[in-house]
Amino acid sequence: MHLITATTGKAFVGDWIGPFAAGQLVLCGPRLPHNWISLDVPEEGVARRDLVIQFRHEPLELACKAIPEFQEIMPLLERARHGIEFFGWADKAEPHWQAVKSARGLKRLAAFCHFMTDLARWGDYRLLSNVQMRGVENDTELDQINTIVNRITENPSHSQSAAEVAAELAMSESRFSRFFRRATGNTYTDFVNRVRINRACQLLMTSDRYVTNICYDVGFNNVANFNRRFLELKGMTPSEFRKQAESRFGGAPVSA
């Protein structure tokens, strides 16, 4: 559970890239790669950029099976595998966080359950990533996947080919393809395309660059292919996405 309290910048959650600012609340499920990079930190730094609650998925999943009342949060835990951004929580999240922090013993568990229940019942949210880290068997594999995912999300326009990544991991290309798909649920090519489209979404929301320029900025070499992939993944054209983003998120520029 990650609440931003100061600064703005870029958030990376699985294959999603987008802006963040104070008040953003995101819940990331187990083994989902995530990172927040501030772009406006003053020289003296900030006293407190974020508030975090970390908890294990497995005990709650077991509790959901054993205790009927816990089952209400199971859909929330499943959605969290994609990363969830909640809207309308800027003023409510920190009091919940402070209640958990200040309590002890069963009262802390009760405060945490209160927080989770309110999130489970909240309807204004979006799922961020298409990646779900389900098939990673050990820490070594997790580190390998995280390295690949982070490298792609940080610089999607210069992503390596599957053959190059396979060689780096001392795998055949076919073995790497099976490994990557088992871990993320996506082929390597599909994953790169998703990251590039999400990067395009960020540019559409935070800049006035032409769609054609954005196409090449994010690594596509063909405008028709870019438009086709965008429509497949977002269900609308880039221009339609920009209009919708402006109506919901205000289109406020963010440093990039």
> For 6-17, what is each residue's pLDDT tens digit?
999 888 888 787
pLDDT at residue number 132: 66
Mean pLDDT of 113-120: 96
Q: Long-range CB contacts (< 8 A, 24+ apart) of 53-60? A: 53/1, 53/97, 53/100, 53/112, 53/115, 54/1, 55/1, 55/112, 56/30, 57/29, 57/30
At residue 251, does pLDDT exceed 60? no
Q: CATH fold of 139-249, please? A: Arc Repressor Mutant, subunit A (1.10.10)
Mutual angle of helices 238-249 and 223-234, in 10-degree steps: 50
Q: SS3 of 88, please?
A: coil
Residue in this structure with the two tokens 């009760």, named with its chain if needed: 110
Q: Model confidence at 96, in pLDDT bands (50, 70, 90)?
A: very high
Q: Model confidence at 247, in pLDDT bands (50, 70, 90)?
A: low
- Residue ranges, comma separated, of all CATH 1.10.10.60 domains in the chain are 139-249
At residue 134, does pLDDT exceed 50? yes
Higher-pLDDT residue of 158, 17 = 158
Q: Model confidence at 133, in pLDDT bands (50, 70, 90)?
A: low
Average pLDDT of the chain, as a whole number? 88
